[in-house]
Amino acid sequence: MSRGTTFKQCGCRDESTGRLLGRTCPKLRRGNGWSPAHGTWYYQLELPPRADGTRRPPLRRGGFTAKHDVGTELDQARDLLAIAAPGDTETVIRIADAITASMRDTRTLPDPEQVRKADAAGRQAACRRRLARGMAGRQEEAAARDRAQLRRAHPPVPQAPSRAYR
């Protein structure tokens, strides 16, 4: 899983071309760190691929005034993805779908507690479906066994030819 990155960006434009400078603005850096008075904080986190295996766009948000605020939201996004058990790709995909839907609809991350509840409910439903399929298969096997035992115990009685064929 990706750790994500935080960075600063601004809306300054190159005077000769008019293009946005973004992260390359010289006013963003000051000495060995970031300028406290210029630009806003952003984060980017790679999300797992979609169910069909295609790459999903990264989760990218910005406009934070303090590095602490961007770090808090990035940690929340990481916590959401960590809800799934290691190797449980179905749950990770469902959580990533929930994150992208929530960001699209409300511009906020979903509540981790609600995602945990939904994940637990989804796992319970999947377990019930597996059990039902297993029970149905076992019931069918038991019925087939019973039919075979009945055939062995009570072989069919030969019938006399019908009068129509005499």
The tens digit of pLDDT for each residue in 84-98 reads: 888 888 889 989 999
Confidence of residue 158 (pLDDT cuts 50, 70, 90): low
Q: Categorize the per-residue pLDDT at 135 as very low, low, confident or very high, splitting at 50, 70 and 90.
A: low
Look at the block and give the residue holding tokens 């960590």: 82
Q: Could you tell me if 95 and 83 are in contact, meaning their C-beta atoms sit under 8 angstroms apart?
A: yes
The predicted structure's pLDDT at residue 1: 60
pLDDT of residue 16: 92
- pLDDT grade for 78, boundaries at 50, 70 and 90: very high
Cβ–Cβ under 8 Å, residues 104 and 76: no
pLDDT at residue 72, as a whole number: 95
Residue-level pLDDT at 41: 95
CA distance 75 to 73: 5
Tokens of 110: 């979903």
Rounded Cα gap, residues 163 and 145, in angstroms: 36
pLDDT digits (tens, 9 = 90+) for 64-75: 999 999 999 999
pLDDT at 109 over 60: yes
Q: What is the mean pLDDT of residues 28-38?
A: 87
| pLDDT higher than threshold 80 for residue 155 | no
What are the φ and ψ backbone dihedral angles of 53, each rounded to 5 degrees? Answer: 95, -5
**pLDDT at residue 62 greater than cutoff 60:** yes
